[in-house]
Amino acid sequence: MSISCLRDLKRLENVSRSPFLSQLTATIQGIQTMRAYSKETYFIERFERLVDTNSVALLLFELSNRWIAVRFDFLVMLMSMSVGVFTIMSHGHVSPAMVGLAITFSSYLLGTFQFSIRLGIESEARFTSVERLVNYIKNLQIEGKCITDCNPEQNWPSRGEIAFQNVEMQYRENLPLVLKGISFEIKTKEKIGIVGRTGSGKSSLATCLYRLVEVKSGCITIDNVDVSSLNLNLLRSKLSIIPQDPVLFVGSIRYNLDPFDQFTDDDIWKALEKTYMKKTISAFQSQLMTPVNEGGENFSLGERQLICMSRALLRKSKILILDEATAAIDTKTDHLIQSTIRQAFVDCTMLIIAHRLHTVQDCDRVMVLDSGKITEFDSPSVLLSNKDTVFSRMSAIE
């Protein structure tokens, strides 16, 4: 009975611990935003509620442990008393040496017996963490099931043509659609700017291409190959993305740029030079072998973004996605980087998800999204020539 009680209490304590740790992490990472909107009191009160909820389960678990310890102490004391009574009653029949040995062992039993039993009970209670891990593993959904076993040509994609046909997507079931019947075609080497208000579905297009979320209906093809029929490793290895939030891994700079040792040091230095990071990396004593902390914390946000750009330059993919890649870079460097990207990726298809409209002024065409639908899709000059277009009004406001 007590074992089941302790096990369930420990399970409740583990479940209630995750929310307040997540809240603590989110508060630390977003403390600037929290202070900017004067939400300190709200986050403090929420954190206190989560800690109180966890403390109730933790306190009950510790009190249950003490309850068991007191009962064990009582049992051991009864046993020691029984040994003493037996010693008195057996006076003259048992040797003094044996009596002393029995009393000594009974006193040792007071600590050893309680520790052994409590250790076994706590071990079983703490195995609820293993139980949760096993549950996550068994219930983990397999990502990216292929409809067919498609093996495209080795040089696929050779042209970089992209086509969306009535694509609908939602992030989870019972949630509203993020993309609502999107259809368009992108030609070889075409540079497409994608703009729209927050929540219009810009980044969701990249999510669909990478199959981070499977589309609900419709079809996405690259060079006439349905992406849903491809192995995820193959599909994602053929695409390059420069994300809005730069991602670096623990290791060296060289490992972050070329994790599979596919390029020479000269190739890496050329990529760094094109993104204006060669001078910064050369200043380090270890240069390319300079360690990168977790999340790239030893580099500024702009430097992390430039390193991610260098990584994309090295891969030379036929399709490149820029998800507001220069958001953390100053305007002057932004212009230089935009020029460099267009020169380095002149032979590839580019999807430029932009919040700064000047970054898409020289694109071949601009796609304007609103509430998951395409409202406008034409060249920037045509859209700007009409004052009634959404793109023209957005440009006027900026």
Predicted local confidence at residue 237, as pLDDT: 81
Q: Sign of the CA dihedral 244, 249, 252, 255?
A: negative
CA neighbor of 342 nearest in space, from 329, 357, 327, 360: 360
Does the domain spanning 2-138 belong to CATH 1.20.1560.10? yes
pLDDT of residue 384: 82
Q: Would you say how long the chain is, in residues? A: 398
Question: Which of 219, 216, 193 minimizes the C-alpha distance to 321?
Answer: 193
The three-state DSSP-derived secondary structure of the chain is CHHHHHHHHHHHHHHHHHHHHHHHHHHHHCHHHHHHCCCHHHHHHHHHHHHHHHHHHHHHHHHHHHHHHHHHHHHHHHHHHHHHHHHHHCECCECHHHHHHHHHHHHHHHHHHHHHHHHHHHHHHHCHHHHHHHHHHHHCCCCCCCCCCCCCCCCCCCCCCEEEEEEEECCCCCCCCCEEEEEEEECCCCEEEEEECCCCCHHHHHHHHCCCCCCCEEEEEECCEEHHHCCHHHHHHCEEEECCCCCCCCEEHHHHHCCCCCCCHHHHHHHHHHCCCHHHHHCCCCHHHCEECHHHCCCCHHHHHHHHHHHHHHHCCCEEEEECCCCCCCHHHHHHHHHHHHHHCCCCEEEEECCCHHHHCCCCEEEEEECCEEEEEECHHHHHHCCCCHHHHHHHHC
The CA distances from residue 274 to 200, 318, 330, 338, in Å, are: 32, 18, 17, 11
Structure tokens at 24: 């603590």
CA-based end-to-end distance of the chain: 68
List of the chain residues with pLDDT < 50: none
225 strand-pairing partners: 222
Q: What is the CATH number of domain 188-213+226-397?
A: 3.40.50.300
Please, are residues 106 and 83 in contact by the beta-carbon 8 Å criterion? Answer: yes
Burial of 119 (0-12, 13-18, 19+ CB in 10 A): exposed
Q: List the domain boundaries for the chain.
A: 2-138, 188-213+226-397
Tell me if the pTM is above 0.85.
Answer: no
Residue-level pLDDT at 149? 61
Q: Which residues pair with 191 in a beta bridge?
A: 350
Q: Could you give the CA distance from residue 291 to residue 254 in angstroms, rounded to a whole number?
A: 9
Instruction: Give the angle subtended at the CA of 125 by the CAs of 122 and 128, to the nearest 5°.
Output: 145
| C-alpha torsion angle, residues 51, 54, 58, 60 (rounded to 10) | 110
Is there a contact between 72 and 114 (Cβ–Cβ < 8 Å)? Answer: yes
> Could you tell me which residues are beta bridge partners of residue 349?
319
Q: So what's the pLDDT on residue 345?
A: 76
| pLDDT of res. 148 | 55
For residue 249, the cross-strand partners are none
Distance (Å, whole) CA 212 – CA 206: 9
Question: For residues 220 and 229, what is the distance between their CA atoms, to the nearest angstrom?
Answer: 10
Picking from 359, 361, 388, the residue whose alpha carbon sits closest to that of residue 375 is 388
